[in-house]
Amino acid sequence: MPPKPMEPNGRFGYISSMFVVPEHRGHGLAGRLMAALIDKAKNLGINLLSLQASEAGRPIYEKIGFSTWAEMGTNVPTVLKRLPNP
């Protein structure tokens, strides 16, 4: 990816379409899936992850360290997580 102000080296990840079916919610599955994605990103040398969160999903992401960032041109807040350098 080309450099962006939020990640000048151009290496960042975008998580799309995270969803847990209703009958499996509330058991920590989303948190475990996100932990696996974060570990994979770290192994790939990615230092920034982003996603667009629903109102219901935002608390899950904030709990694991994502913070809200209002990206221009979108109606859904983007949440970001900066990963430690490997």
pLDDT tens digits, 21-59? 999 989 989 889 988 988 888 888 888 888 888 888 888
pLDDT on residue 72: 47
pLDDT on residue 74: 44
Does residue 10 register a pLDDT over 70?
no
CATH for the stretch 13-82? 3.40.630.30
Tokens for 34, please give them. 């996100």
Q: In the chain, what percentage of residues exceed pLDDT 90? A: 8
Distance between CA atoms of 82 and 39, rounded to whole angstroms?
13
The per-residue pLDDT of the chain, averaged, comes to 78
- Which has more pLDDT, 74 or 36? 36
